[in-house]
A and B are shown apart, each in its own frame.
Chain A
Amino acid sequence: MTTVQSPQTAETPAANRQLVSSEILPEELHPSSRIDATDVTCWFGKRKVLERCTLSMEPGEVTALIGPSGCGKSTFLRSLNRMHELVPVAAIAGTIELDGVDIYSEEMSPTEVRSRIGMVFQKPNPFPAMSIADNVLAGLSLSGMSNEDPKALVEQCLRRAGLWAEVSDRLNEGGMSLSGGQQQRLCIARALAVHPDVLLMDEPCSALDPISTRVIEQTIRELCEEITIVIVTHNMQQAQRVSDKCAFFLVESIGDPGRIVEAGPTAQVFENPSDPRTYDYVTGQFG
């Protein structure tokens, strides 16, 4: 499946991209970051749900995590920005390095980790009591950052998330007044406002229609030039469309922890997988 885009959806974001890269934020471009997860094992209480997962997420690339339900993709993703430990019984082993620094070490606080590694959730979760603009800026007030020109930041982030055109005249309306797809892009804009180096996305399109999905996929492709992206998806076409690299997670038999069966360039994983189980999964012959 190739990246064919319908002309209507392609138009606006493409125009936005030019604005983004040339006018709005040249000085704010980040050098991309890399994440190296080594031998990551996760537990919930006594139950081991993920075992010895090793994966490198390269700068400027989109890494897709695929695999059947319950194999630990969300758990792995949440361990990458220390959301895993918010579950009271959760435990973790192994190391996760952001540009060579272990995020679970003394050198980094959870709040620093999470503001450098942002997250977009499966279900859009804008803050209901805040306006659209305040939603975008929420990360700043949450982490006590300040910004000299909040208006410009709001516009810039909404443009990058491909939402500006739709909401520019209603920035003061509540975040919940948007459609599901718009809410999800608002959440992406909100995550971008704190200038993360990495963005984690857990099935960001699973609640959206095909058009909204396309818009978000395009946004992902544009963002990956500056931000390292890790995305969980159940949609094989989507993984092929947006990702450069792909990791296949699997629970071999019930009760086992999830493991990474195969990881590599997306084209290779889909067209020429080295493991027969990967082949079965990506061709839809699973189970």
Chain B
Amino acid sequence: MALTSPELQALEEQVPRDIARTVTRGDRIFRTLCASAAAVSLFIIGGTALFLAIKAVPALQKAGLLSFFTTSVWNPTVGDFGVLGLLIGTIIIATVSLIVAVPLAIGLALFINEYSPARIRRILTSSVDLLAAMPSIIFGMWGFFALQAPLVGVASWLNLHLSAIPFFRLSEPDAPLLRSSFIVGTVVALMIVPIITSVSRDVMAQCPRSQCEAALALGGSRWGMIKEVLLPFGKAGITGAILLGFGRALGETIAVALIIAFTIEANPYVLEQGGGSIASLIAIKFPEAQDLEISALIAAGLALFGMTLLVNLGARAIVRRTQIAA
């Protein structure tokens, strides 16, 4: 080595060398523990999916894989099943609940962080966290008994003034407005507001003080600071919070099953009585189901699983794209 002149060394291309990675005994043990925990949970998830898939096969064979996803029937006696209407219904309910919940949740998060006096802030923060932990049956009952009447009022107002938008039309002028996707969606919205609020509030509270001060020192109003600094800063985290809420709305069972007038077909009249979702189908049909119908319910559950996965992946991709653009 000593013979190599500096000039020669400079000419030689350098390649990355090996780095010795020595691991201590404690690290090795801990790593093994973590790895086994991960393996167990992966095994449970994989095993569940596999088990469900196997159990779903009989119904899917009987009904036909294609028609299971493209028709809207539920006839256990002849073995005819199709969940298209319920998939659409699930998305309708989840979408209504997001439309109601997101502005409420972000407004509440901003109010707590930016506008409320310190004492009220503490009270609000803990009550939001408390609500997030509330079992959904309580919301469901509250929605059923206390919220239906006022929401019917809102629904007929929306229909009266905004029927230019197709969503707010009725199939006939005096169609019943109770037990509709709109009412269910709103109740589910109230259930997911706390979790969206709590997560997005946490995210925005992480924004560096210096950024906020910079915005205010430029003569920005508080709203200007929120728009230009806080929301861009929290974008990814807020999207995550919304996704979390959406996932809950997709899977929400009890509140939907309690309130909705269950139908197998999709009901495009959001304000009108009738609708359904996969989760509520399972809750409603499972107690009485036998053999083939159980298999069909499991297949419906798998469909919900797949849909949730797709929505999550899609949203993740969107977040990643906007982050790169920023």
Contacts and interface: CB of A to CB of B under 8 A. Distances in A.
Interface of A: 81, 83, 86, 88, 111-112, 114-116, 118-119, 121, 123, 125-129, 138-139, 141-144, 187, 190-191, 194
A142 B217 CA distance: 10
Given A127-B228, A129-B232, A129-B233, A142 B219 contact: yes
17 contacts: A83-B213, A83-B217, A88-B118, A114-B217, A115-B219, A121-B214, A121-B217, A125-B213, A127-B211, A128-B211, A142-B219, A142-B228, A143-B218, A143-B219, A143-B224, A190-B214, A194-B218
Contacts of B210: 121, 123, 125
Given A116-B219, A121-B214, A144-B221, 8 more contacts: A114-B220, A127-B211, A129-B326, A142-B215, A142-B224, A143-B220, A194-B218, A194-B219
Contacts of A81: 217
Interface string B202-238: 0000001011011111111100110011001100000
A191 B218 contact: yes
Interface string B84-124: 00000000000000000000000000000000001000000
A118 B219 CA distance: 8
Interface in B232-280: 232-233
A142 B229 CA distance: 9
Contacts of B219: 111-112, 114-116, 139, 142-143, 194
A123 B210 CA distance: 8
Nearest to A113: B219
Interface in B186-211: 208, 210-211
Residues of B contacting A: mostly? helix
A20 to B, nearest CB: 21
A83 B216 contact: yes
Top 7 A-B residue pairs of the complex, sorted by shortest distance between their CB atoms: A115-B219, A142-B220, A139-B218, A142-B224, A119-B217, A143-B219, A129-B232
Contacts, number: 73
Of B210, B216, B219, the most chain A CB neighbours within 10 A belong to B219
Contact of A114 (B216, B228, B233): B216
Nearest to A112: B219
Contacts of A127: 211, 214-215, 228-229, 232
A128 B210 CA distance: 12
B175 to A, nearest CB: 45
Nearest to A83: B217
Contacts of A116: 219
Contacts of B232: 127, 129
A112 B213 CA distance: 15
Contacts of A112: 219
A127 B214 CA distance: 8
A202 to B, nearest CB: 10
Given A129-B232, A129-B233, A138-B228, A86 B213 contact: yes
Contacts of A139: 218-220
A194 B216 CA distance: 13
Contacts of B118: 88
A141 B217 contact: no
A81 B214 CA distance: 12
Contacts of B233: 129
A10 to B, nearest CB: 30
B218 A190 contact: yes
Of A114, A115, A187, A194, the most chain B CB neighbours within 10 A belong to A114
A129 B323 CA distance: 9
A144 B219 CA distance: 10
A123 B216 CA distance: 16
A190 B228 CA distance: 14
A252 B215 CA distance: 35
A115 B216 contact: no
A114 B213 contact: no
Contacts of B228: 127, 138, 141-142
Nearest to A116: B219
Of B218, B228, B232, B326, the most chain A CB neighbours within 10 A belong to B218
A187 B218 CA distance: 10
